[in-house]
Structure 1
Amino acid sequence: MDIKEKIKNLPDSPGVYILKDGEGKAIYIGKASSLRKRVTSHFSNVDSPKEEILQKKTIDIEYIPTTTEAEALLWEAALIKEKQPPYNINYRDDKSFPFLKISIEEKFPRVFIGRGKEEKDVLYFGPYSNVRLLKEALKMVRKIFPFRSCRILPKKSCLYYSLKLCPGPCIGKISEEDYRETIHNICLLLEGKKEELEKELMKKMEEKARAQNFEEAAQIRDRLKGLAQLKTLRFGIETVLQELKDVLGLEKVPYRIEAFDLSHLSGKEAVGAMVSFYKGIPDKNNYRRFKIKLSDSFDDFSMLREVIFRRFRRLREEKEEFPDLVLIDGGKAHLEIAYRELNKLGISLEMIALEKGEEKIYTLKKKIILPLDSHILQFLRRIRDEAHRFAITYHKKLHQKTLLKSELDEIKGIGEKRKKALFEYFGSLEEIKKASIEDLAKVKGMNRKIAAHLWQVLRDEREND
């Protein structure tokens, strides 16, 4: 595949790209919000001697997809430091670029952003090319590994502790040893050693579980989940998809993957959701939502039958392209039901199920168990978790609409805006009924006259019950 073809196949999404010479050495590394557009710009114009040299010397292009441009910024800096490409000359002017700094000599090291490398006893990461993106990236890291950012330790906890973005060393909520371990984990992540970090955490989680420290094991599990949301650094998506094809025994590489999940509350507001990934990237224009309406019973199997039938009947009728792989959130029984619905439609597709908990992968013929730190399993889990998030979001939206349909609908002076404000303030109809006139009047959009009228109507209803 020549350079032009490779550029054409790059995704229109965030990531890091590596331009390589004939010996396979990195000559330039960059980040982009759109890999395809950014790399194309290197080869469409010759604005400088450097661009001309890059065009002549580039023989191959490697890329690493990321969730956001901010995440790409972290990987870009780590790769530049590791590979030292000769044409990333701007980064040699350390004074003009921001660094991520860790005050490593403090008892509880502070993590912060600053320029220059004048401070002593500080560990530096970078430089980074964009301070705004660096702040975004640091927010992502902090959600996984909470850290201290204040200049001086206060005597009481701050907002970051309340938001679970700081472990609270100022009030003795974390030991020095445990905090140092968090800093070590952050350093591994910033150095691009994500796989090493995941292996360390996996080992630690297993040790905690064996010792029956289940709360601590769960905390480590949550951190592993957070890391899984960051796309794999060392494995390009093409590699992951090729290995997925081999592991599952597919006939072709599964570039287009559709995943299904269900959500309901005791059968109420039952919904299905489908997400679509193309070449490892969420294709949100092709996400679909299904309000369950045909099933007599709202069990998972009935709901799954309806969603699969409706989705693929429509694709067949509209002569749309079918996905290369279908992922079902569930076990072997769910997979078999989905296959039966496809058979009714006369459609043959590659399909797997991914079971929560032990994370077993099912095909019709076999069960596959991959290591929990496998990049293939992490990739599938990320797709499944996105389907789950999409389903839950849709279910909550419908549930909120149902909550707003209440006894308040017929009360004069209580329109949609006031009704919504009342539910947001009190949380439920029962709490609204218990409220005094003074409390009702405090709600946004209410006044004492309307509050008194509402209180009177609700009191009359209570007395008539």
Structure 2
Amino acid sequence: MLNKKAISSLPPSTGVYLFKKNKEILYIGKAVSLKARLLSHLENAKLDPKEALIVKNSDRIEYYLTDSEFKALLLESALIQKYHPKYNLRWKDDKSYLYIKITLKQEFPKVFTVRRENDGKSLYFGPFPSEKDVEEILRVIRRIFPFCLQKKISKKPCFYSKIGLCRPCPNEIANLPDDKIKSGLKRIYRYNIKQLIRILSGNLQLVLQDSYKLLQKFIKNQQYEKALILRDKIQRFEQIIYQTQFSSDISIHFNRSAEAVEKLKISLQAYFPSLKKLHRIECYDVSNLFQKDATASMVVFIDGMAEKSEYKRFRIKSKKARSDFEMLEEVFIRRFKQDWKQPDLIVVDGGTPQVLKVKQILKANPIPLIGIAKHPDRLVINSSHKLITIRPPSNNLGFNLVRSLRDEAHRFARKYHLLLRSKRMMI
């Protein structure tokens, strides 16, 4: 049975959590703050029989961190569909769950919300635990990639075409006399549907990359009006998939910072015998897309807490820096030319390749160095003779401190990257 002590060490970050017993997944949920949501499960278990069963029958929790609530919504649905956890379904007949249906056989594919069905001619995404979740997902996507919700084609453009949520409108396209214009608008509509399917499938980065390629094409062909419209869509989409609903102060807050620092120090002393303290920890991350507007961040935690006055951001200057490794090299060379305070530990966002590169750069500077790799989260430790990879328990306070460093470095680098990109795209 889970207890408050086990949950208190979880990060206060956005993500999806899984209640498990051995290898069986009992319940899946999403949260803006994993820690707060899971603590609420414990409190609710005192009054709610459903919550009590979930907590009583679970022996551990696994979780996935996401960049935003929107990603958490999509991931929760995908995991419920994959694993069918019994406590997600026991109190709710599977037929009552909502699905997003996209018709594929029609000239103009339509989007509906339906209960459980399968006509063999459509794509289905879900299940979604609540109608509110489905409405929010479709509302957000529709503002960027408009689509039609009407079942039948009529002679007049629908109301939503007037407010930009169904543009181009299938009603309008179907009644156009000019076949060339009709064909062009039809391609735009089907492109929007393709992007919708990609988003619901979780391929968010593919949507971004495709959009940027199209933007560059518009600019190259001097189609500046189209470029401006697409630029605004890209910016809205990036805000959705990278912004969380809580402030960054909360996302990196550690109530048990001193204990987390101590546990991390004890864990690392086996690999770094001379490590006496972890007063200052620096974490580095690189952010770029197609090597454009590449940036890097250095975030600093003092005694386990974020010290924002010490944060540094770097715009990659070298034209020769094409890979993340070359960018890391530039950042570390620039950093150690400065008369800044020396860290007790360096953390890089990445696995073995990134740690090896930084080790090579800092060979004359014996600062303890580790990396944090993803999928699953694990530490790559630069010990004296070789690199060692470990995967601490998910409730390890020291491990979660490193995760928070990584997440904050990613947020800070990404924020600067988006700022530079936004300025460049101001046409």
Q: Normalized against structure 2, the TM-score is what?
A: 0.52
Report the Cα distance in structure 2 between the residues aligned to 1:41 and 1:156, rounded to whole angstroms. Answer: 50
Structure 2 residue corresponding to 1:217, chosen from 208, 213, 227:
227
Q: For residues 161 and 67 of structure 1, do their structure 2 counterparts lie closer, same or farther at Cα, with a shift above 3 Å needed?
A: same
Match of 1:62 in 2: 64
The answer to whether residue 122 in structure 2 is matched with residue 122 in structure 1 is yes
> 1:117 is paired with a residue of what secondary structure?
coil
Match of 2:392 in 1: none
> 1:127 is paired with a residue of what secondary structure?
strand
- The within-5 A match list for 1:371-390 is 379-380=414-415
Structure 2 residue corresponding to 1:350, chosen from 311, 316, 336:
311
Matched to 1:171, the amino acid is E
Report the Cα distance in structure 1 between the residues aligned to 2:5 and 2:231, rounded to whole angstroms. Answer: 42
The answer to whether residue 152 in structure 2 is matched with residue 152 in structure 1 is yes
Report the Cα distance in structure 1 between the residues aligned to 2:106 and 2:225, rounded to whole angstroms. Answer: 28
Matched to 2:171, the amino acid is C
> 2:193 is paired with a residue of what secondary structure?
helix
Q: For residues 376 and 40 of structure 1, do their structure 2 counterparts lie closer, same or farther at Cα, with a shift above 3 Å needed?
A: closer
Contact kept? 2:195, 2:207, Cα under 8 Å? yes
Q: For residues 14 and 60 of structure 1, do their structure 2 counterparts lie closer, same or farther at Cα, with a shift above 3 Å needed?
A: closer
Contact kept? 2:10, 2:34, Cα under 8 Å? no
* Deviation (angstroms), 1:153: 2.0
The answer to whether residue 171 in structure 2 is matched with residue 170 in structure 1 is yes
Matched to 2:130, the amino acid is N
Deviation string for 1:347-372 (max 9, x for gaps)? Answer: xx3344889xxxx9x999969xxxxx
Q: For residues 108 and 354 of structure 1, do their structure 2 counterparts lie closer, same or farther at Cα, with a shift above 3 Å needed?
A: farther
Contact kept? 1:16, 1:65, Cα under 8 Å? no
The answer to whether residue 246 in structure 2 is matched with residue 197 in structure 1 is no
Match of 1:324 in 2: 307
- The within-5 A match list for 1:87-126 is 88-90=88-90, 93-126=93-126
Q: Which has the higher strand share?
A: 2
Q: For residues 53 and 62 of structure 1, do their structure 2 counterparts lie closer, same or farther at Cα, with a shift above 3 Å needed?
A: farther
Report the Cα distance in structure 1 between the residues aligned to 2:35 and 2:128, rounded to whole angstroms. Answer: 22
Report the Cα distance in structure 2 between the residues aligned to 1:201 and 1:19, rounded to whole angstroms. Answer: 37
* Deviation (angstroms), 1:177: 2.2
- The within-5 A match list for 1:16-31 is 16-19=16-19, 28-31=27-30
Report the Cα distance in structure 2 between the residues aligned to 1:59 and 1:32, rounded to whole angstroms. Answer: 14
Match of 1:74 in 2: 74
Consecutive unaligned residues in structure 1, runs of 5 or more? 257-322, 327-348, 368-373, 389-465
Q: CA RMSD in A?
A: 4.6
Report the Cα distance in structure 2 between the residues aligned to 1:352 and 1:182, rounded to whole angstroms. Answer: 36
> 2:241 is paired with a residue of what secondary structure?
coil
Greater CA deviation, 141-150 or 197-206?
Answer: 197-206
Contact kept? 1:351, 1:363, Cα under 8 Å? no
Match of 2:338 in 1: none
Q: For residues 219 and 51 of structure 1, do their structure 2 counterparts lie closer, same or farther at Cα, with a shift above 3 Å needed?
A: same
Contact kept? 2:101, 2:113, Cα under 8 Å? yes
Q: For residues 104 and 77 of structure 1, do their structure 2 counterparts lie closer, same or farther at Cα, with a shift above 3 Å needed?
A: same
Contact kept? 2:20, 2:61, Cα under 8 Å? yes
Report the Cα distance in structure 2 between the residues aligned to 1:82 and 1:209, rounded to whole angstroms. Answer: 42
* Deviation (angstroms), 1:139: 0.8
Consecutive unaligned residues in structure 2, runs of 5 or more? 174-181, 244-250, 253-281, 288-295, 317-326, 336-408
Greater CA deviation, 132-141 or 181-190?
Answer: 132-141
Match of 2:278 in 1: none
The answer to whether residue 49 in structure 2 is matched with residue 40 in structure 1 is no
Matched to 1:30, the amino acid is G
Contact kept? 1:228, 1:378, Cα under 8 Å? no
Contact kept? 1:3, 1:61, Cα under 8 Å? no
* Deviation (angstroms), 1:130: 0.7
Q: For residues 180 and 37 of structure 1, do their structure 2 counterparts lie closer, same or farther at Cα, with a shift above 3 Å needed?
A: same
Match of 2:389 in 1: none
* Deviation (angstroms), 1:104: 1.5
Q: Which has the higher helix share?
A: 1
Deviation string for 1:173-224 (max 9, x for gaps)? Answer: 7622222221111111112221222222223333333333333333333332
Report the Cα distance in structure 1 between the residues aligned to 2:312 and 2:165, rounded to whole angstroms. Answer: 39
* Deviation (angstroms), 1:160: 1.1
- What percent of counterpart residues are identical? 26
Q: For residues 154 and 162 of structure 1, do their structure 2 counterparts lie closer, same or farther at Cα, with a shift above 3 Å needed?
A: same
Report the Cα distance in structure 2 between the residues aligned to 1:255 and 1:162, rounded to whole angstroms. Answer: 52
Report the Cα distance in structure 1 between the residues aligned to 2:413 and 2:103, rounded to whole angstroms. Answer: 33
- The within-5 A match list for 1:270-419 is 324-325=307-308, 349-352=310-313, 379-380=414-415
Q: For residues 217 and 98 of structure 1, do their structure 2 counterparts lie closer, same or farther at Cα, with a shift above 3 Å needed?
A: same
Q: Normalized against structure 1, the TM-score is what?
A: 0.48
The answer to whether residue 254 in structure 2 is matched with residue 252 in structure 1 is no
* Deviation (angstroms), 1:129: 0.8
Contact kept? 1:102, 1:111, Cα under 8 Å? yes
Contact kept? 2:18, 2:28, Cα under 8 Å? yes
Using CA pairs under 8 Å that are at least 6 residues apart, name the structure with larger relative contact order, 1 or 2: 2
Report the Cα distance in structure 2 between the residues aligned to 1:86 and 1:18, rounded to whole angstroms. Answer: 12
Report the Cα distance in structure 2 between the residues aligned to 1:254 and 1:170, rounded to whole angstroms. Answer: 62
Match of 1:226 in 2: 236
Contact kept? 1:245, 1:252, Cα under 8 Å? no
Report the Cα distance in structure 1 between the residues aligned to 2:188 and 2:133, rounded to whole angstroms. Answer: 28
Structure 1 residue corresponding to 2:54, chosen from 35, 43, 51:
51
* Deviation (angstroms), 1:27: 5.8
Report the Cα distance in structure 2 between the residues aligned to 1:212 and 1:82, rounded to whole angstroms. Answer: 45
Contact kept? 1:155, 1:171, Cα under 8 Å? yes
Matched to 2:123, the amino acid is L
Deviation string for 1:313-356 (max 9, x for gaps)? Answer: xxxxxxxxxx7336xxxxxxxxxxxxxxxxxxxxxx3344889x
Q: For residues 354 and 325 of structure 1, do their structure 2 counterparts lie closer, same or farther at Cα, with a shift above 3 Å needed?
A: farther
Contact kept? 2:102, 2:110, Cα under 8 Å? yes
Q: For residues 170 and 18 of structure 1, do their structure 2 counterparts lie closer, same or farther at Cα, with a shift above 3 Å needed?
A: same
Matched to 1:325, the amino acid is K
Match of 2:377 in 1: none
Q: How many residues align?
A: 278
